[in-house]
């Protein structure tokens, strides 16, 4: 009887926590060091994470399992910041030149360059058809055409320092690095 109790206790203390049954929302499962000293943009292409680094002026494809660099390409501008993935191409925001580049991830060649819709763009998100651009100085978020950069919609940013953007299929997620908040924004409810 005592042996069964010890076995059960070992299962509870050692084996079950390893299964993730007791994982909690926001728990860090793994981490690894970035390939450059100043990561500024991040996106996922379905297979790899892509990270922009402004100190190395490079874009890195990283295996999300172990952090291994699978590919490195030079950034097309001087200060790569936001990244987005449209299902085929990588989009890179350069917030020094206020330009957005469409990049072939296989060759690293910039296929298209469009002007950012504002003077202090920080990040990008892809919604399946359009790019979204956050500007922390203007305190606005822009929905733009990838054909020519035309602004489709301008939203007020939910905070004074909109820095990061993500789109989950329904909502825009906006992070503020000063307030340390993440906001869920309904993009079709324009004021």
Q: Is 108 exposed, middle or buried (0-12, 13-18, 19+ CB in 10 A)?
A: middle
Task: State how far the Cα of 105 lies from the Cα of 111, in Å rounded to an integer.
Answer: 10
* Alpha helices, H only, the chain: 2-10, 16-19
Alpha carbon distance 41, 164 (integer Å): 9
The single residue listed with the structure tokens 């690293």 is 108
The residue extents of the domains of the chain are 38-185
Q: What is the pTM assigned to this prediction?
A: 0.84
Q: pLDDT tens digits for the chain (191 residues)?
A: 666 555 444 444 444 444 455 555 667 778 889 999 999 999 999 999 999 999 999 999 999 999 999 999 999 998 999 999 999 999 999 999 999 999 999 999 999 999 999 999 999 999 999 999 999 999 999 999 999 999 999 999 998 888 899 999 999 999 988 888 899 999 876 54
Nearest in space to 139 (alpha carbons), one of 169, 102, 178, 100:
178
| Class for the domain spanning 38-185 | mainly beta
CA 176, CA 182: separation in Å to the nearest integer? Answer: 6
Q: What is the DSSP string of 12-45?
A: IIIIHHHHTTT--TT--------SSS-EEEEEE-
């Amino acid at each position: 009887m005592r042996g069964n109790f010890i076995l059960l206790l070992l299962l509870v203390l050692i084996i079950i926590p390893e299964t993730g049954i007791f994982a909690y929302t926001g728990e860090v499962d793994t981490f690894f060091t970035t390939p450059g000293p100043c990561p500024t943009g991040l996106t996922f292409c379905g297979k790899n994470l892509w990270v922009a680094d402004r100190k190395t002026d490079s874009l890195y494809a990283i295996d999300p399992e172990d952090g291994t660099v699978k590919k490195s390409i030079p950034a097309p501008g001087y200060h790569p910041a936001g990244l987005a993935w449209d299902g085929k191409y990588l989009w890179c925001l350069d917030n020094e030149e206020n330009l957005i580049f469409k990049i072939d991830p296989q060759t690293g060649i910039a296929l298209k360059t469009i002007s950012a819709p504002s003077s202090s763009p920080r990040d990008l998100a892809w919604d399946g058809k359009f790019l979204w651009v956050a500007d922390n100085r203007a305190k606005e978020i822009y929905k733009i055409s990838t054909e020519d950069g035309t602004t489709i919609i301008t939203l007020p940013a939910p905070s004074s320092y909109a820095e990061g953007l993500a789109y989950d299929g329904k909502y825009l997620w906006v992070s503020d690095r000063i307030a340390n908040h993440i906001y869920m924004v309904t993009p079709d409810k324009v004021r």
